[in-house]
Amino acid sequence: MAAVKPVEYKSRDGLTIHGYLTLPKGVKAKNLPVVINPHGGPWARDQWGFNGETQFLANRGYAVLQMNFRGSTGYGKEFWLKGAKQWGKTMQDDISDGVKYLIDEGIADPKRVAIYGASYGGYATLAGITFTPDLYCCAVDYVGVSNMFTFMKTIPPYWEPYKAMFAELVGDPVKDSALLAEASPVFHVDKIKVPLFIAQGANDPRVNKAESDQVVEALKKKGIAVEYMVKNDEGHGFANENNQIDFYKAMDAFFAKHLAPAKEEPKK
């Protein structure tokens, strides 16, 4: 297995951001292709330990950075609440600053940085390639939010008790309409200029299929190429093993094409 190293860096406004860096084995940690992997939630956190996805990506020759951006849990209430109404803003800056950290350390090749995430991580992926279009060379969005208005409108019934919390932490669709419009990647797809792969479950109750459909449709209208995988028997993330294999095979091929892996150094 590839080693997982705890790291920390400063955000542009002085916050300490903690994360985990997984490096491919057999190569120097210098000028590597990197996959930035923001977690879902967003009110969750990445932890040190075995992660099948990061090991899979490291095995293919990519360094992987997971970061606990503001709004993540596990670092106290103040840090968590710093993410309130900051989707696409300072929460996204924390992710972008992680890219800068790897470049400044000489670990990342600035021309070979990809972003991949699921759920909120999928939102952060779309936000990354719309709001900072020059930062990434390609992206994979897995069941990610694209339109803050339709996302808030389709909150499932079993989340009803959390609606007031969503209005406080994400934004109220009426009172904060300008904020949500600014933070919705679907309204800014004209800025996307890198290859994108989207995977979505047709029966997703949390991030409705329309979230992905809207992006694909908007990109096609702009003449921008996008790969789209829809599994009709899946919800929020693929549970069926065959579908998981299809997804990871497709992602593997996508990164092999658009994010050249590091070469293993010859053994002396």
Among residues 97, 109, 204, 258, the one annotated as catalytic is 204
What phi and psi, each to the nearest 5 degrees, are found at residue 115? -130, 135
- Residue 42, preceding bond cis, omega within 30 degrees? yes
Beta strands 63-68 and 108-118 are unpaired
Q: Which of 18, 39, 236, 258 is catalytic?
A: 236
72: annotated active-site residue:
no
Q: Positive or negative, the Cα torsion across 254, 210, 52, 120?
A: positive
Q: Which residue out of 96, 119, 146, 212 is catalytically annotated?
A: 119
Q: Who's near 190: CB < 8 A, 6+ residues apart?
A: 222
Distance CA 247, CA 242 (A): 9
119 part of the active site: yes
Reported residue count of the chain is 268
Whether 204 is catalytic is: yes
Tell me how far apart the alpha carbons of residues 263 and 257 are, in angstroms, rounded to a whole number. 15
Tokens for 82, please give them: 């710093």
* Residues in Cβ contact with 81 at an 8 Å cutoff, skipping those fewer than 6 apart: none
- Which of the residues are catalytic? 119, 204, 236
